[in-house]
Amino acid sequence: MAISSEDRQAHDALRRFSFGGAPANATPAGTLGGLSGARFWRVGGGGRSLVLRRWPPSMTPTDLRGLHALLRHGADRSLTILPLPLPAAGGDSVVQLAGHCWELHPWMPGQPMPGQPNESERELAPAGAAALAELHCAFHDFAGRPASTAPPGSAGKRVRVLDQHAAGAPLDCGGALARLSISTSEALTLVRRLAALAPQAAELAREAAAQATHVQMIHGDPRREHLLFSEGRVSGLVDFGAVTHDTPMVDLARWLCETTSADAAAWQSGVDAYHSVRPLSNNERRLVSTLTLSGVVASGFNWVRWAQNGDLGAANQQGATARIRQIAEWVGLFAEQRHAAQVTAAGGG
């Protein structure tokens, strides 16, 4: 069977890493459900299970080395859940080949929190929130980009997205989303709800963008599939491709929205679990709700616009459909005043 050019590149990249002998196998793992353009190979060798990652061309060697330095910093602060990169033969953890940066790191154990968790699995949401708090404590004093006080960049980005929508042409969503197997009725409902929520989301984001708060290095994209659990505890925190310098509430809001949007009690348990590790200021508690609403609405507009403009490649359509449906569910909760972020904020949680 002929080997593809991508698999040939993967084998060439593997030969440049030093991890105890030649790999027994390198099995293509595709995108692992991601939409960033990264590709993965599962590697067996030296008695370990590893993963080879080929980053998209936008990742530069300098940026990737900086990310690796951040992960090593976290490990030095006793975080054991990070995918630490292995060195190549020359000592560098970055291999440059065929216009891409490559890295090799352990395949982290565990499974993501289920989309429909049972009673015991619901406890994984606060466990994940506590793990993010531990991550933020470990990253706080990273010398490459120390913590500081500044307006949250995420809020400013959301203001720009929402202002762009307000000033732009109406979304022609029907045909675009139909190509993603989303019905015209679903598409129209989503866009109508987004438009109704946009003024409030923009106002809250604008207020947040005008107020300085604690900012530091954070994960940036703690989706459900990026936190892995074993025996009720976080055993792996993966995919740091969106790492950024912002308020830690970006991470907390994203994780809680992913796992507890329809359950106000579970949402509050997540906030409490985070607070037990890294105490929250009153402003940060408000930011969790603000960033959730503005993030959901801005993401909704972005995804519909990308679909309308044909910016979703064919290989990404299944993932894009799942993401848009998920956003539509959250938007529906907000439209009906039932989202956990709204319920807990109204109750003073």
pLDDT band at 349 (very low <50, low <70, confident <90, very high): low
What are the pLDDT digits (tens) for 43-67?
A: 986 677 899 999 999 999 999 999 9
3-state secondary structure of 70: helix
Quote the CA–CA distance of 349 and 342 in Å, as a whole number: 10
pTM as predicted: 0.93
The overall average pLDDT reported for the chain is 90
* pLDDT at residue 30 in the model: 87
- Whether residue 197 contacts residue 331, with contact meaning beta carbons closer than 8 Å, is answered with yes
Rounded Cα distance between 302 and 211, Å, is 25
Q: Could you tell me which of 226, 270, 321, 260 has the C-alpha nearest to residue 116?
A: 260
In order of 119, 319, 321, the CA distances from 181 in angstroms are: 32, 12, 7
Taking the mean position of all CA atoms in its chain, how far away is CA 101?
20
Q: In the prediction, which pLDDT does 83 show?
A: 97
- Which pLDDT score, from 0 to 100, does residue 18 have? 67
In the chain, ranges of CATH 3.30.200.20 domains: 5-107
Confidence at residue 176, expressed as pLDDT on a 0 to 100 scale: 63
pLDDT category at 120 given cuts 50, 70, 90 is confident
- Ramachandran region, residue 72 (left: φ > 0; alpha: ψ -120 to 50; beta: rest): alpha
The answer, yes or no, to whether residue 332 has pLDDT greater than 80, is yes
Residue 170 — pLDDT band, cuts 50, 70, 90? low
The residue written with tokens 């300098």 in the block is 62
pLDDT tens-place string over residues 176-188: 666 677 888 888 8
CATH 3.30.200.20 applies to domain 5-107: yes
Query: What's the rounded mean pLDDT across residues 281-308?
Result: 93
pLDDT value for 56: 94
Q: Per-residue pLDDT for 172 more than 70?
A: no
Q: What does the pLDDT read at residue 268?
A: 97
Q: State the span(s) of the chain assigned CATH 3.90.1200.10.
A: 112-346
CATH number of 112-346: 3.90.1200.10
